[in-house]
Amino acid sequence: MIANDIVLRVRYGETDKMGFVYYGVYAQYFEVARTELIRKCGFAYDELEKAGVMLPVISLNIKYLKPCFYDDLLTIKAILKELPGVRISFEYQITNQQGELTTTGDTTLIFINANTKKPTKAPKEMIEGLQMNFTNKISQ
Amino acid sequence: MIANDIVLRVRYGETDKMGFVYYGVYAQYFEVARTELIRKCGFAYDELEKAGVMLPVISLNIKYLKPCFYDDLLTIKAILKELPGVRISFEYQITNQQGELTTTGDTTLIFINANTKKPTKAPKEMIEGLQMNFTNKISQ
Amino acid sequence: MIANDIVLRVRYGETDKMGFVYYGVYAQYFEVARTELIRKCGFAYDELEKAGVMLPVISLNIKYLKPCFYDDLLTIKAILKELPGVRISFEYQITNQQGELTTTGDTTLIFINANTKKPTKAPKEMIEGLQMNFTNKISQ
Amino acid sequence: MIANDIVLRVRYGETDKMGFVYYGVYAQYFEVARTELIRKCGFAYDELEKAGVMLPVISLNIKYLKPCFYDDLLTIKAILKELPGVRISFEYQITNQQGELTTTGDTTLIFINANTKKPTKAPKEMIEGLQMNFTNKISQ
């Protein structure tokens, strides 16, 4: 398991007229959280694309337990429970500055060869980077 | 059951560098689809808020079967299978101009009294409007 | 001069906690308006990119005269005053369902050869399409 | 004059199919930069709204000198050249990790009394906070 936290402040443009963070914005928060988890393991998402691999999201699930608000300082934990094969899955937990769990979710992404458009295995360097950081306990 | 289709063209700003519609943008597409379903039943979402009722999303699930692209003309079907109580759930199906099913999903929203911040029942006028449009077959 | 109107309904996710359309969202509205002006002249923006021409925006100016709100039905007029050379400029006027002028703006975009990354002239087919629709009065 | 820099990493969802940061996204970058300038002066934008003052943007101008890309680490400098009256104006300069100036812009915002919807002066506490941080040279 690899877990990594990022901290992110809610932008005004991310709120809606209810005063809450718009429910579609969390997809971006999750994206930033998983990108930074991968980067901490020595692999930039950008390199993936340069190596001819695309990684589109194939499923997204979110539970909105409490609203998040403008200017909130959110901690977004991304968790990787299994090393990737053709797919990679992340879980997410968002907590606000009061320590309240506001949001949980998960995404599954699929490695695609940019030329053939067919599913492909995760690049070896990426798996190695993840493997080196893999633990059996939460690394928080 | 009530089903309602809207047609929507993908904006340039909704794509990402992969050339696909960004996975968080579908939340907006779903929002537009359910708003129009409710409007067809004689009730504007805006009136809801004016009546002191908020309707935040409490869960979102999306399956991305095929990518959508810039300038695609997407048909987004929103489906209401049950009349709302304190919650209202919608299912969604997106098809592109080739008739391919690209995306499925669902959302659950909860009616909240804007003053007490407590869950509340759907407004009577809204339930009546939905009831009048309710059928046992897909109204496509 | 070519002028073309589109009508567009404000999405919930486009508002901010002030209850107004977020000021950055108008860039998307302008994008949709100029895309449809070009399409009316027989040229899809998408073909441009397939022909190896990119058209990034190099300047944007907006004046927000009145706020726009959720569910507003906005008319966005795009105006092309001069045929493009290496650059193409559009002006915009947004009016709401009460006929009030809410927003004005303009953008300049530059034609770039996708291979050389150098400025290039607008494609001949595009200029011809625009020329055929060019009038000395507003074509509304 | 007050100048304040923030550093911000470009999100995947902020790019478009050209691979550039979408031109409307810079409005959010500017928003974050001016919010942090104000916060550094001891005043949270959020307090403004709690005090019954709204601060909508009335003009936005952007020049896109060079594109910004996914994963770029951008430095966004917000500059306040004059103390606010009824209006407050900011200038912005964005530089990328290579030190290249990519984008310049400015915004003007207007203080509005949330009850009367009329223009009002900037709150005294805010002016005092800004005044204490005001210098005649760039404070970078």
User: Which of D16, D71, D72, D106 is an active site residue?
Assistant: D16
pLDDT value at residue B16: 96
Q: Is A138 helix (H, G, I), strand (E, B) or coil?
A: coil
How far apart (Å, rounded) are the C-alpha atoms in residues D60 and D54? Answer: 17
Rounded mean pLDDT, C38-60: 91
Indicate if B16 belongs to the active site: yes
pLDDT value at residue C33: 98
Query: What ipTM does this complex have?
Result: 0.94
Torsion of CA C137, C30, C55, B96, to 10 degrees: -110
Which residues of chain D make contact with A35, given a CB cutoff of 8 A? 12, 71
pLDDT value at residue A136: 59
- Pick the residue from chain B with its C-alpha nearest to D12: B16
Looking at the DSSP assignment, which residues form a beta bridge with residue C95?
A: C75, C101
pLDDT value at residue B85: 94
pLDDT value at residue B50: 86
Which residues of chain D make contact with B19, given a CB cutoff of 8 A? 17
Q: Could you tell me how many CB contacts below 8 A there are between chain B and chain D?
A: 28
Rounded mean pLDDT, A76-80: 98
Contact criterion met (CB < 8 Å) for A45 and D11 = no
Q: Confirm whether pTM is higher than 0.80.
A: yes
Q: What is the largest CA-CA distance in chain B?
A: 48
Q: For residue A47, what is the enclosing H or E element?
A: helix A45-50
Q: What is the mean pLDDT of chain C?
A: 94
DSSP state of D13: G
pLDDT digits (tens, 9 = 90+) for A88-102: 999 999 999 999 999
- Pick the residue from chain D with its C-alpha nearest to C61: D61
- How far, rounded to the nearest angstrom, does the alpha carbon of residue C20 sit from its chain's CA centroid? 21
Which residue in D7, D8, D10, D12 has the most chain A C-beta atoms within 10 A of its own C-beta, making it the best mutation to test that interface? D12
- Inform me whether the pLDDT recorded for C130 exceeds 80: yes
Rounded mean pLDDT, A18-45: 95
How far apart (Å, rounded) are the C-alpha atoms in residues C120 and C87? Answer: 9
- Inform me whether the pLDDT recorded for A138 exceeds 70: no
CA distance B42 to chain A (A): 22
Contact criterion met (CB < 8 Å) for A17 and C22 = no
pLDDT value at residue D136: 59
pLDDT value at residue C138: 47
